[in-house]
Structure 1
């Protein structure tokens, strides 16, 4: 049998001294250098992991930012449609046209949700849940509100008159949670932009 070759000396990766390795993959000359090398390797791995995590966090933030932007655009298209749909109606809360609110920046009318988008995001784009509303009523305090009745109570009462108790109770009933994807928001935006354009054309020839 041929005698195995004696291992060749290596340079220690820590102290840079030459040593004869006991194992083929040995890179440090002794226990102290091996510990230092292991800690350095762990630190390097931790830095690499943190870099990946930061990159993933930036990507997640960017996706969230894009989602918010598409949500805002879809909401704006939906709200415009609601205001056009209800253009001849008074405020859903108080029944007033708010004649002395014309000075308000951005107009006096909102597309106000019966059940808020925060508490019921699944009803954000439900047409039964959103109606033309004075900004003052949407803000929670209106001088036009019926005496002894809150803005919310006024909204519900007039909503029942408008769409019926059965549909109002359907809004108030339990609903499945809903999350919107970017593609869904793009589709919602396109749908309501198209419906608003058709409505504007109809208004123009009235």
Structure 2
């Protein structure tokens, strides 16, 4: 006659007492021990989540610090480009309802819109962020026709007046944009751009 199997006995994970489990994965001997184990697990999960959150905060902080240092190391040309991007976006938004300053077309979407300078950045870098010197221009006039100045000047006189155009033409100052100036201009023109977009919405 076969001997009957001895009942399985297991040690409770909570209190250490031996018990006979009713389920194959049961590790507690009583409801009280089960609640205690659940509470312990909840505490461990909470601690694990807090540590994960702290690690994420630490990584984010380190990333911000790296970005801050990287920005400090960026050359002046980088900051001039950043200003130019937001300045050009502001000019296009400012003149959104106006035609191309040079050829008068309203259909620049076919070739794209630029912010075209009357006096070029190469010839008058000190006027690159002068709002009188920059206006919405179709890409064909700005890039293919090298600014199409023949059409630009008469339209510019009609728009801002002869005196201001002559002032631009006679302005031969020199200026080297500093990083501090660039950062300030980014804030100024981003605020102006945001205000125009809110108004248009």
Comparing 65-74 with 176-185, greater Cα deviation is found at 65-74
Find out whether 1:192 has 2:194 as its counterpart. Answer: no
Q: By how many angstroms is 1:151 displaced?
A: 1.7
The aligned counterpart of 2:33 is none
The aligned counterpart of 2:117 is 113
Over the aligned positions, Cα root-mean-square deviation in angstroms equals 2.1
The aligned counterpart of 1:68 is 77
Q: How many residues align?
A: 131
Which of these residues, 156, 161, 180, is aligned with residue 183 of structure 1?
180
Q: Which runs of 5+ in 1 are unaligned?
A: 1-61, 143-149
The aligned counterpart of 1:84 is 93
The aligned counterpart of 1:16 is none
User: Greater share of helix residues, 1 or 2?
Assistant: 2
Distance 1:103 1:164, change over 3 A: closer
| Inter-partner Cα distance in structure 2 for 1:85 and 1:115 | 19
| Inter-partner Cα distance in structure 1 for 2:170 and 2:73 | 30
| Inter-partner Cα distance in structure 2 for 1:157 and 1:103 | 24
| Inter-partner Cα distance in structure 2 for 1:182 and 1:134 | 30
Q: Which runs of 4+ in 1 moved over 6 A?
A: none
Which of these residues, 162, 171, 191, is aligned with residue 159 of structure 2?
162
TM-score, structure 2 normalization: 0.61
Find out whether 1:102 has 2:109 as its counterpart. Answer: yes
Question: Secondary structure of 1:87's match?
Answer: coil
| Inter-partner Cα distance in structure 2 for 1:156 and 1:185 | 28
